[in-house]
Structure 1
Amino acid sequence: MAYQTIRGTFDVLPDAHSSGGSEIPGSSAWRHVEGVVRGVMERFAFEEVRTPVIEPLELVARGVGGTTDIVQKEMFTVERTKETYVLRPEVTAPVMRAYLQHHLDQRGGAQRLYYLGPCFRAERPQKGRFRQFHQFGTELLGSDDPRADAEVIANMRAVYDAFGVTNTRLRLNTLGDAADRPAYRDALRQYFEPHADVLSDTSRQRLETNPLRILDTKDPDERALLADAPKLPDFVGDEALAHYETVKTLLDGLGVPYVEDPLLVRGLDYYTRTVFELESDALGAQGALCAGGRYDGLAQAVGSKRPVPAVGYAAGIERLFIALEDEGYAFPAPPRPDVFLVCLGDAAEAAGFGIAQTLRQAGLAVDFALGGRSMKAQMKAADRSQAGYSVILGEDELAQGVAQVRDLGESEQRAVPIGRLAVELVRETAA
């Protein structure tokens, strides 16, 4: 029986292909996207951090929240001796763990960190959702300055601007401070309890554990109830409101458009003040390209003795690809070799193998056929490779100490001394 990829996962191949009903871009497109993201991060002076894909279960449960669907239904766990680990479902809690473990605050000032990498959730695969998926994001740790919030949002917007993704909406809200939350929870319970018969089983459970999460519902009947539900900004204190107004003023000054949404929440206790989400119509009902907010309570939730103000966002790369397809984004052509060696006969193959290494040491990308193929087959392979030049080497060329260099674009050919191949080809490819 042939082995297959696990449902909800996929291979990234040199060429684009279909997997589980989804179109998977080729590896050069992935490298291009990652390169653009890294370029934006570097312009904003964010530094890369890489954390393990496996973390302690308790860290993730505390970081994400014990009542969330991620923790209750969607984590891949691994038991080893007496410990339970989890394949990370997100990267914010691991980055905070790294910040605390390695005392990154001692580097001085706020830490601007970003990441790229795979995450794992045991959810039903669908458009833009996989069991292994890939995220990029930023975490700005150690500052409660409203400029940090605006900086992270500006960074997020700059990523999508770099790709020309324009069909988006930025939703913005404030959750206030932790002290503002209990009164709002009580108001939500009082509002939803008379309508409990309309709520789904999940929302009725959330009504008891964390009613803010009902505001995330996609159920049409529950969405209708939200129109008259209490609005969080009405319960936010003056200090948090002033922070929010400053963030909006900063975004206005940068020309970053947004829509205020009083129903936008992050239903975890450690989230405070600014929250935001970038949506795209290209993704259908599950329209979020990325989301984030301020999470000043996370450090203490994962064991810190003192708070660490922080703000960040996470974005799905697979979802970005869907948005790029919707925009008709033109990816650069995959890299091609500079030279394709065509070797005829055993002696030429032996000499060509060494010549290939010499050309590579000179900085050229070189390919050649294996298996003693005919000249016709090798020239077809050279055409398929889209190399700029072919270098043809046979018994006659070896005897004369030359190689035939053919410009595959112009079909022009000339003899070049083998000792000058590297110099000539480097000059030609640079022209």
Structure 2
Amino acid sequence: MASDRLTALRALLADTADEMVNPSILQPAEVFLDLAGEDIRRRLFMTTSAFGEDLCLRPDFTIPVCLAHRATGRSEPVTYGYLGPVFRQRRSGSAEFLQAGVEWIGHADTAATDAAALSRALQAAAALGLTQPRIRVGDATLFSALVEALPLSPAWRRRLIAWFGEPERLSGALAKLAGGQGLAGTTGPTGLSRALAGVEPEEAHRIVADMLGAAGLSLAGGRTADEIADRLRDTGTLSAGDTEAQAAAGVLERYLAIKTPLLEAERTVQAFAETEGVDMSEALAGFRARVSAFEAAGVPLADTAFAADFGRRLDYYTGLVFELYDPARPDTAQTIGGGRYDKLLSLLGAPQPVPAIGFSVWLDRFGIETGIGGAA
């Protein structure tokens, strides 16, 4: 019965977490508009408080849990569990559905915590009746290491890393890179864009704002001076016919095509790096440590696939990502998804990066709806 499976999941969450939490259903909308990605932003249920503050119904738990953690001022490692309703506009199905999950915040041993997250996610799936899920993992760290090892400008590196996990945008950027185009799609930079490409973003913002002010020009189309400066910097980072950059695009495309069993992934990526003449040794050492931690935690490595192009459409994910699927329903979306997001706490105001990882269970994909067993 659904209620029995939910009871088993509750027990697992309580056993895993230091504290079970239930962040407010009404959340500050600005945080999600800034950080949550286009897919979530366009699905928000928005409202406005009596004091003019933009609010939204809680669309997921990760950001609200991190906001609540920041509010406590705690600095020691802590593990939070949750189970409750979230709200998103959807093409089909209820706009209110249940999510459960765990967030590990502040744990320094990233390999061990990565393994704990995937191991507990597998236990959560088993508690809900999915005992042999199909497992897929990816690694943003490996992609970032490859980008940093290639002869690319800082702007190209920044943009490619930011777009990892967004296949359409990343593919389009690589096509421009291969064709000798700037990020904005121009075939050659102007003198101004070349000059701005050589300065820090903040200085470029100031220069453009001063130029617009001195010329008495008004902005059109809703663009800001900062956005114009960023676009000019991007167009100035690559000249048409830059053969090194074009070769780099080919290297990245060959890397992103790698799909292999996890047991073979380190060897495959190492062979790729040697063939392409790039140094990914530090990232591969971390990858190796994680796989060893997976094995120690009982993760079925033989049933786990690695995909080099698998990432999240959210800029704050920094390392491992994983998804669990029901092999009996190959056309359905992930049932459980998780990943490492070491940048998120900093983006929410923490004075320095805080290691963090978590997973979420989509309970409606297990046939468990709001209201069952007093869940909602």
Length-normalised TM-score, structure 2: 0.61
C-alpha separation in 1, matches of 2:144 and 2:327: 36
| TM-aligned CA deviation for residue 30 of structure 1 | 4.9
C-alpha separation in 2, matches of 1:236 and 1:274: 20
Quote the residue 1:286 is aligned against.
332
| TM-aligned CA deviation for residue 163 of structure 1 | 3.8
Quote the residue 1:252 is aligned against.
295
Moved more, 158-167 or 115-124: 158-167
Quote the residue 1:134 is aligned against.
98
Quote the residue 1:312 is aligned against.
358
Is it true that 1:185 corresponds to 2:152 in the alignment?
Answer: no
The C-alpha deviation readout for 1:255-279, integer Å capped at 9, x for no partner, is 3122112121112221111111111
Is it true that 1:61 corresponds to 2:26 in the alignment?
Answer: no
| Aligned ranges 1:16-55 → 2 under 5 Å | 29-55=1-27
Quote the residue 1:296 is aligned against.
342
Residue 34 of structure 1 aligns to a residue in which SS? helix
Q: 1:125 to 1:298 in 2, by over 3 A?
A: same
C-alpha separation in 1, matches of 2:118 and 2:83: 17
Amino acid in structure 2 at the alignment position of 1:32: D
Quote the residue 1:421 is aligned against.
none
Mind listing any 5+ residue stretches in structure 2 that lack a counterpart?
A: 148-155, 162-169, 180-230, 232-251, 259-268
Quote the residue 2:139 is aligned against.
174
Quote the residue 1:149 is aligned against.
114
| TM-aligned CA deviation for residue 97 of structure 1 | 0.3
Quote the residue 1:365 is aligned against.
none
- Is the CA contact (8 Å cut-off) linking 1:295 and 1:310 kept in structure 2? yes
Amino acid in structure 1 at the alignment position of 2:363: I
Q: Based on CA coordinates, which of the two structures has the bigger radius of gyration?
A: 1
Quote the residue 1:96 is aligned against.
66
- Is the CA contact (8 Å cut-off) linking 1:70 and 1:121 kept in structure 2? yes
Residue 24 of structure 2 aligns to a residue in which SS? coil
The C-alpha deviation readout for 1:315-336, integer Å capped at 9, x for no partner, is 11111228xxxxxxxxxxx9xx
Q: 1:54 to 1:195 in 2, by over 3 A?
A: farther
Q: How many residues align?
A: 257
Q: 1:124 to 1:101 in 2, by over 3 A?
A: same
- Is the CA contact (8 Å cut-off) linking 2:17 and 2:102 kept in structure 1? no
Quote the residue 2:191 is aligned against.
none
C-alpha separation in 2, matches of 1:251 and 1:149: 8
C-alpha separation in 2, matches of 1:64 and 1:236: 32
Q: 1:193 to 1:262 in 2, by over 3 A?
A: same
Amino acid in structure 1 at the alignment position of 2:289: T
The C-alpha deviation readout for 1:380-415, integer Å capped at 9, x for no partner, is xxxxxxxxxxxxxxxxxxxxxxxxxxxxxxxxxxxx
- Is the CA contact (8 Å cut-off) linking 2:138 and 2:307 kept in structure 1? yes
Q: 1:238 to 1:94 in 2, by over 3 A?
A: farther
- Is the CA contact (8 Å cut-off) linking 1:63 and 1:302 kept in structure 2? no
C-alpha separation in 2, matches of 1:178 and 1:301: 21
Identity of aligned residues (%): 27
C-alpha separation in 1, matches of 2:143 and 2:104: 20
The answer to which structure has the higher strand fraction is 1
The C-alpha deviation readout for 1:157-200, integer Å capped at 9, x for no partner, is 1112234413411111210189646538188545334999xxxx
Quote the residue 2:315 is aligned against.
269
Length-normalised TM-score, structure 1: 0.54
Q: 1:195 to 1:70 in 2, by over 3 A?
A: farther
C-alpha separation in 2, matches of 1:269 and 1:259: 23
| TM-aligned CA deviation for residue 46 of structure 1 | 4.1
C-alpha separation in 2, matches of 1:236 and 1:156: 33
- Is the CA contact (8 Å cut-off) linking 1:150 and 1:250 kept in structure 2? yes
| TM-aligned CA deviation for residue 52 of structure 1 | 0.8
C-alpha separation in 2, matches of 1:118 and 1:125: 17
The answer to which structure has the higher helix fraction is 2
Q: Which has the higher contact order (CA 8 A, sep 6+)?
A: 2
Quote the residue 2:214 is aligned against.
none
Amino acid in structure 1 at the alignment position of 2:175: F
- Is the CA contact (8 Å cut-off) linking 1:60 and 1:88 kept in structure 2? no
Quote the residue 1:239 is aligned against.
282
What do you get for the CA RMSD once the two structures are aligned? 3.0
Amino acid in structure 1 at the alignment position of 2:11: G
| TM-aligned CA deviation for residue 58 of structure 1 | 1.3
Residue 367 of structure 2 aligns to a residue in which SS? helix
Mind listing any 5+ residue stretches in structure 1 that lack a counterpart?
A: 1-28, 197-207, 209-226, 323-333, 335-431
The C-alpha deviation readout for 1:336-377, integer Å capped at 9, x for no partner, is xxxxxxxxxxxxxxxxxxxxxxxxxxxxxxxxxxxxxxxxxx
| TM-aligned CA deviation for residue 33 of structure 1 | 2.9
Q: Which of 26, 36, 48 is equivalent to 1:79? A: 48
C-alpha separation in 1, matches of 2:80 and 2:9: 13
Q: 1:60 to 1:115 in 2, by over 3 A?
A: same
